[in-house]
Amino acid sequence: MHTIEQLTLLLEQRIKETGLPKEPTNLYAPIEYTLESGGKRIRPLMVVVASEMYSDNIDSAIYAALAVEVFHNFTLLHDDIMDNAEVRRARATVHKKWSANIAILSGDATVIHSYNLIAKCCVENFYDVINTFNTLATLVCEGQQYDMDFESRDDVTIDEYINMISLKTSALVAGSLKLGAQVAGAPKEDCDALYEFGVNLGNAFQIQDDLLDTYGNAATFGKRIGGDITEGKKTFLLLTALDKCSPKQKIELQEILASATFSEQERIDKVTAIYNDLSIKSFTEKKIDEYFTKASDILAKLNIDSAKKEVMYKLADLLINRNK
Amino acid sequence: MHTIEQLTLLLEQRIKETGLPKEPTNLYAPIEYTLESGGKRIRPLMVVVASEMYSDNIDSAIYAALAVEVFHNFTLLHDDIMDNAEVRRARATVHKKWSANIAILSGDATVIHSYNLIAKCCVENFYDVINTFNTLATLVCEGQQYDMDFESRDDVTIDEYINMISLKTSALVAGSLKLGAQVAGAPKEDCDALYEFGVNLGNAFQIQDDLLDTYGNAATFGKRIGGDITEGKKTFLLLTALDKCSPKQKIELQEILASATFSEQERIDKVTAIYNDLSIKSFTEKKIDEYFTKASDILAKLNIDSAKKEVMYKLADLLINRNK
């Protein structure tokens, strides 16, 4: 069993050796650019750590991990076009640095490359592996569509929001864990349990991301604090506030979000004040704990060596405690 | 062995039963819309006809055929955004009917769906099958990138053009044939020969498409005659004309294409006049024949029943003689 640090180094090395052709440059350079720009590689780590819980041979797990990481980068590449985002990981997004057309097409080549990688998993149960990969890929697209649909709706419920993040964010975390277990030949119940662990962990992570967007530390969060508020994003915080507030506060909240007269900072301050008034922070923290505890309970019940679980706990912590 | 008409009916039926979820509507309705709008289904027919040359069981071939058709529709969906095309098969394109963002994301879900379908091929050599599918998918993206790159270049050679169409158009035809042979368990030499047959056939088809764009019959071609000329597209005709013309004609040709003073029809007429002067039509027809003959020769050499080859010849004819 490797440590997370060892696996991170190994993955970084393997991500560098993409094996992608050089030509046509406008197709492949944006993919290299996207892959090299990093992140914590948590999802591919999930694959390999899950795999090592069941097998010492991680050859196939590495390919599944790379497939997941490449797929994740594909979603970022296309999401950035859809959101018209200018910056990603402190660098210009592909559609800004090149063009929207190049970002669409190199994104397409990226998702196809992820299938090239998953097809390198040389395992007996390859049909299970590709089905898991197809499922996670489909669910992530569904989640992204719901997220886009929410932009033009003002009746989104908290349940709908949880369903959306379970698809957009958690399906990839959960699918990564299941893939890792599958390529290692883990029993079906364990694959399914790790999937459930991942859904809960992913939900905790996404709700925490919402929380940090308003209450995080600007220096470590990496994005501007309050961005979700200025964009009027339907986050767990906003939907909970709308659910808990008085009719008077609701009107006030909607007016602040719709108003064109406030500056961005004023809007952030006013909405945050309402959140404070409604104890949204502690309510959200409780929800995160709830999902995290559910996840931990599932992991605790797994019938495997506790030393092996320990690495997975650490990885879960790394996902949840990021930027705190 | 089925006839092409029987297989077409069978495929249409199976394409209708997409098995796609209904929700989120904005993700799946554009996919249904794209798939139902038809075309001649030549590529999926290639898969099944190739398969029937080697096996009576076409269960897996049907899934590979659907995968190819769904993949083809994915490329159209995204190409239409990149080309800013308004109409496809006499209906509004997805990005015009819905939005660019919806077209990007539903395109993504479409390519993932094509992998769902290919993963339903239940065959011993599934790794070969998915590798063929991955390869054709990658090559099509490369071809599309070269095609986009050509727009801003004025030194594109005929060889580069042939390479581009071999990727963008022929890799899908060739890959379809190889997939069909592979799922039927055909010998490797036959799979490779059918691939080569497909590359030549695909090239003949694409060059004919270029020819019909200028010299076709408006009533049967389905697109406006002369569109390639007004867009200044680097077609086989234009590149051949630039290659064969005198230095004086070259300047004239470039001036016509660059000029903003001519109407679209004037530009079409003037460029066509130069093409006529240089006998581009007959030169292009000769090139099409050359590729078609190469394809036929490869098929002739295959060591299989001539009745089985007959259906494949008919299908090749259907591809090449379309809209004549």
Q: Name the nearest CA neighbour of A75 among A177, A147, A183.
A: A147
B26 CB neighbours in chain A (<8 A) are 145, 148-149
From the candidates A22, A70, A104, which should be mutated to test the interface with B, based on the most B CB atoms within 10 A?
A104
In B188-279, alpha helices (H): 188-215, 218-221, 227-230, 236-244, 247-258, 264-277
Tens digit of each residue's pLDDT (9 = 90 or more) over A257-291: 988 899 999 999 999 999 999 999 999 999 999 99
Q: Do B142 and A81 touch (CB under 8 A)?
A: no
Q: How far is residue B284 from each of residues B90, B276, B279, measured CA to CA in Å?
A: 28, 12, 9
Q: Do B112 and A112 touch (CB under 8 A)?
A: no
Tens digit of each residue's pLDDT (9 = 90 or more) over B136-166: 999 999 999 999 999 999 999 999 999 999 9
Higher pLDDT, B1 or A60: A60
Q: Please report the residues numbered 130 through 169 in chain A whose beta carbons come closer than 8 angstroms to any beta carbon of chain B.
A: 130-131, 134, 137-138, 141-142, 144-146, 148-149
pLDDT band at A323 (very low <50, low <70, confident <90, very high): very low
- First-to-last alpha carbon distance for chain A, in angstroms, is 28
**B87-88 vs B91-92, strand pairing mode:** antiparallel
pLDDT band at A221 (very low <50, low <70, confident <90, very high): confident
From the candidates B18, B22, B27, which should be mutated to test the interface with A, based on the most A CB atoms within 10 A?
B27
Tokens of A169: 């964010």
Q: What is d(CA B126, CA A266) in angstroms, rounded to the nearest whole number?
A: 59
Q: Do A105 and B145 touch (CB under 8 A)?
A: yes
Q: Name the nearest CA neighbour of A68 among A36, A138, A115, A8.
A: A115
Cα nearest neighbour of B123 on chain A: A127
Amino acid at B243: D
B115 CB neighbours in chain A (<8 A) are 115, 130, 134, 137
Residue A324 has pLDDT above 70, yes or no: no
Burial call A180-214: b when 16+ CB within 10 Å, e when fewer: bbbbbebeeebbebbbbbbbbbbbbbbbbbbbbbb
Question: How is chain B split into domains, by residue range?
Answer: 4-320
Q: Name the nearest CA neighbour of B45 among B28, B66, B26.
A: B66
Residue A215: predicted pLDDT: 96
Q: Please report the residues numbered 165 through 204 in chain B whose beta carbons come closer than 8 angstroms to any beta carbon of chain A.
A: none
Q: What is d(CA B46, CA A244) in angstroms, rounded to the nearest whole number?
A: 60
Distance of CA A176 to the CA centre of its chain: 11
In chain A, alpha helices (H): 4-16, 25-36, 42-52, 59-82, 94-97, 100-118, 126-151, 158-165, 171-183, 188-215, 218-221, 227-230, 236-244, 247-258, 264-277, 280-301, 306-320
Q: What is d(CA B223, CA B268) in angstroms, rounded to the nearest whole number?
A: 14
- Give the H or E element holding residue A91: strand A91-92
A23 CB neighbours in chain B (<8 A) are 142
- Checking A93-96 for CB contacts under 8 A at 24+ apart, the result is A94/A30, A94/A33, A94/A34
| Segments in chain B below pLDDT 50 | 323-324
Q: What is d(CA B46, CA B179) in angstroms, rounded to the nearest whole number?
A: 9
8 A C-beta contact, residue B196 and residue B189 = no
A88 - beta bridge partners? A91
Tens digit of each residue's pLDDT (9 = 90 or more) over B288-308: 999 999 999 999 999 999 999
Q: Please report the residues numbered 83 through 102 in chain A whose beta carbons come closer than 8 angstroms to any beta carbon of chain B.
A: 101-102
Residue A295: predicted pLDDT: 98
- pLDDT over 90, % of chain A: 91
Residue A125: predicted pLDDT: 97
Read off φ and ψ for residue B88, nearest 5 degrees.
-140, 125
Instruction: Name the burial class of residue B135, with classes exposed (0-12), middle (13-18) and buried (19+) by CB atoms within 10 angstroms of its CB.
Output: middle
Residue B256: predicted pLDDT: 93
Q: What is d(CA B22, CA B34) in angstroms, rounded to the nearest whole number?
A: 15
8 A C-beta contact, residue B122 and residue B60 = yes
Tokens of A6: 């060892």
From the candidates A74, A75, A112, which should be mutated to test the interface with B, based on the most B CB atoms within 10 A?
A112
Q: Name the nearest CA neighbour of A107 among A96, A118, A95, A119.
A: A95
DSSP per-residue letters across B71-92: HHHHHHHHHHHHTT--EETTEE
Tokens of B245: 């013309």
Tokens of B307: 């009745």
The answer to which of A28-32, A97-101, A256-260 has the lowest mean pLDDT is A256-260
From the candidates B145, B146, B149, which should be mutated to test the interface with A, based on the most A CB atoms within 10 A?
B145
- First-to-last alpha carbon distance for chain B, in angstroms, is 28
B31 CB neighbours in chain A (<8 A) are none
CA distance A295 to chain B (A): 27
Instruction: Name the burial class of residue B196, with classes exposed (0-12), middle (13-18) and buried (19+) by CB atoms within 10 angstroms of its CB.
Output: middle
Q: Which fold has domain A4-320?
A: Farnesyl Diphosphate Synthase (1.10.600)
DSSP A323: T
Q: What is d(CA A246, CA B25) in angstroms, rounded to the nearest whole number?
A: 33
Tokens of B14: 């199976």
Residue B163: CB atoms within 10 A of its CB come to 14
Q: What is d(CA B50, CA B288) in angstroms, rounded to the nearest whole number?
A: 22
8 A C-beta contact, residue B165 and residue B203 = yes
Q: Which residue has the tokens 């990021």?
A: A322
Query: What value does the CA radius of gyration of chain B take, rounded to a whole number of Å?
Result: 20
B145 CB neighbours in chain A (<8 A) are 24, 26-27, 102, 105, 109
8 A C-beta contact, residue B153 and residue B239 = no
Q: What is d(CA B40, CA B92) in angstroms, rounded to the nearest whole number?
A: 19
Q: pTM for this one?
A: 0.96
A27 CB neighbours in chain B (<8 A) are 141-142, 145
Q: What is d(CA A237, CA B297) in angstroms, rounded to the nearest whole number?
A: 68
Tens digit of each residue's pLDDT (9 = 90 or more) over A145-160: 999 999 999 999 999 9
Nearest by CB: A145 against B27, B107, B134 = B27
Q: Do A138 and B105 touch (CB under 8 A)?
A: no
**A87-88 vs A91-92, strand pairing mode:** antiparallel
The reply to whether ipTM tops 0.90 is yes
8 A C-beta contact, residue B54 and residue B102 = no
